[in-house]
Amino acid sequence: MFFRLYFYSIRQTVRQKLIMFWSLIFPVILGTLFRAAFGGFMEEEVIFHQIPAAYVAEEGASQTFAETLKSLEEDSELVEVLETDSGKAEELLKEEKVEGIYYNRASDIEEGEKVTLTVTKQGMSQSILSSILEQYQRVFHTMGQIGRENPSGLKAAAEVLGRQRQYLKEGTISETPKSAMTDYFYALIAMNCLMGVSMGLQIAVGFKANLSDLAARRVVSGTSRYGMMMPDLAAKITIQFLCTVFAVCYLMFALKIPLGNKFGFILLTTLVGSLVGIFLGFFIGAVGTYKESVKEGICVSCMLFSSFLSGLMMGNMYRFLENNAPIVNRINPASLIVKALYSLDIYEGYEKYTQCMVSLLVIVAVLGAGAFALVRRERYASI
């Protein structure tokens, strides 16, 4: 009986083109538009890549700077060094295959190394290359001055610089490239989960005898309401979860959005988020005797408002609320979904993620208990 009603509900829901459009097609369209709108910004300005740079050394030039670049390439993977001649380096720079050219010209020991940097544009990569050269020149000048004034202090100075480099090397908290633009895709996934409000509303309407003929027949039948409701609820959760998983896979594998490498936990988050969306719509549909169109408007408004507070329309909204009204982020379902996904990608542990998931499950429990209680208590004098 359960599985027969379960599969019947799945077929019935899949045939509803409007619901399937908003739950399945619309997130894909919106994600594609997001990717087209600021995908280039994510790749070029925010997401860090190993920086390709050409290195040209004249005959007789010191190898100290070359060794420094090699260390940065092998140890910290900051730059990718291409040693070549001047003509080839200029050609690579013109074709934008390298971000800059380091020229190391021969000089006397008293003069120190004459290293210069040539770039054709300004950006994050060029700024990093310039910072590398400036830092090297400061260290080279400092060590030279210490060597002239206090030769015995060279070893201690070298140890201090070594400790600084080690600290900077281990300062990262995540191997995944991070971008402020990724937050929009997290918010998009959260909105997709909450789009289950429409399916949840259908469950409630299916047992509101004053709103649908199907509900009237169900109410007067001898079958238990819960016996008919549970298969319908399970079917709606299944469809909404699969729609959200499809959107997540499209973002990660088709659009190449860096959402992290903990795919299993991402799926778990979308499942719990889908539960929140379904039960939110179920609860709204079970409250009062308003027309279905009114309840549909309330569901859509709640979904959009929750998505707005999570940063879907305004990227800094979550951080603004965290600074001024943090309680909103603790009870807003979309914000909790975004924070759960974000914590998977940022923190090594699962403390923050667990807190978000527990909060979402509490919301599901409260909405579910309220919806079931309202449906159970409802009686009709006549139909």
Domains and CATH numbers, the chain: 2-43+180-377 (no CATH), 49-169 (3.40.190.10)
For range 147-163, the mean pLDDT: 60
* Residue 153 DSSP one-character state: G
162 pLDDT more than 80: no
* 34 DSSP 8-state letter: H
CB of 280 closer than 8 Å to CB of 204: no
Between residues 59 and 12, the one the model is more confident about: 12
Across the range 259-274, mean pLDDT stands at 94
Task: Please report, rounded to a whole number, the percentage of residues in the chain having pLDDT higher than 90.
Answer: 44
> Is the pLDDT at 204 greater than 60, yes or no?
yes
- 223 vs 288, higher pLDDT: 288
The number of beta carbons lying within 10 Å of the beta carbon of residue 262 is 16
Provide the 3-class DSSP secondary structure of residue 114: strand
pLDDT score at 319: 84
Residue 233 CA, distance from chain mean position = 29
Lowest model confidence (mean pLDDT) among 70-74, 198-202, 213-217, 265-269: 213-217
Residue 253 has a pLDDT of: 94
pLDDT at 172 (0 to 100): 46
Radius of gyration of the chain (CA): 30
DSSP per residue, 232-287: HHHHHHHHHHHHHHHHHHIIIIIS-----S-HHHHHHHHHHHHHHHHHHHHHHHHS
Q: What is the mean pLDDT of the chain?
A: 83
Cα separation, 280 vs 9, in Å, equals: 19
pLDDT given for residue 169 in this prediction: 45
Tell me the pLDDT tens digit for each residue of 290-307.
888 999 999 999 999 999
Query: Which range, of 38-47, 141-150, 212-221, 243-252, averages the lowest pLDDT?
Result: 38-47
pLDDT level of residue 142 (50, 70, 90 thresholds)? confident
Q: What is the mean pLDDT of residues 282-296?
A: 90
Structure tokens at 351: 């403390």
Predicted confidence (pLDDT) at residue 41 exceeds the cutoff of 80? no
Task: Answer whether residue 17 shows pLDDT above 80.
Answer: yes
Average pLDDT over residues 265-290: 94
Q: Which range (5-9, 48-52, 330-334, 362-366) has the least confidence?
A: 48-52
